[in-house]
Chain A
């Protein structure tokens, strides 16, 4: 779980060009990290590629923090088995 969180944190840091230290589990993507809808989509696509999963469009607005995002990815990877 910690590895997954660190990997996703690295993806978010790369897309948002933010210092990885500022990406805390509860930092809000839009308000705190200055993310926009296109960056959110880039993060979603990067996670789909890395974990070979497909995340539906409905999940995009639910990705509001690192914690939310890790949970969504975990849900998909668990389902994949």
Chain B
């Protein structure tokens, strides 16, 4: 299990764009289960939508991508100095959304690799709320060292 302090050592994202709160399961290079607690205080609910708060699908994808970075990191085990120099990019997103996500929901995101090589990965992702699938699909992402 990884708490937020350890997650922040892996992910470069910060408030308001840190989209996972805890990693509850980590099988290095094989599986990551992460959770995101969705609260009504999230800034995006102000506009998405007034009087009808629904978590934007793109942010569910962002949470999936961040859990994927944790999986990627667990396989290649970069040290802290290397992690600081990394940037991550999404190359392809094929995700189907089945149910809306509301304030109060806890998103459970499971990521498993389809194929991972140094610098790039294809992963299967599933997001559930109360064990009901709300979104699932496949992401392609890459990791590159910053030039500066």
Interface residues of A (CB under 8 A from B): 36-39, 41-42, 44-45, 48, 57, 60
**What B residues does A37 contact at CB under 8 A?**
119-120, 142
Interface size on B, residues (CB 8 A): 14
Q: Are B115 and A38 in contact (CB under 8 A)?
A: no
Which residue in chain A gives the minimum CB-CB distance to B122? Answer: A45
Residue on B nearest A44 in the bound complex, by CB: B115
Q: Is the interface of B mostly helix, strand, loop or mixed?
A: strand
Cα distance, A57 to B116, chains bound together (Å): 9
Q: What is the chain A residue whose CB lies nearest that of B141?
A: A38
Q: Which residues of A contact B98 (CB under 8 A)?
A: none
Q: Which residue of A lies closest to B121 (CB)?
A: A41
Identity of the chain B residue whose Cβ is nearest the Cβ of A39 in the assembled complex: B91
Q: A38-B141, A39-B91, A41-B121 are in contact. List 6 more A-B contacts (CB 8 A).
A: A37-B142, A38-B89, A41-B115, A42-B122, A44-B115, A45-B114
Task: Determine the chain A residues whose CB is within 8 A of the CB of B122 once the complex forms.
Answer: 41-42, 45
- CB distance B141 to A48 under 8 Å? no
Residues of chain B lying within 8 A (CB to CB) of residue A45? 114-115, 122
Q: Which residues on A sit within 8 Å (CB–CB) of B121?
A: 41
Closest chain A residue to B142 by CB distance? Answer: A38
Complex contact A38–B114 (CB within 8 A) = no
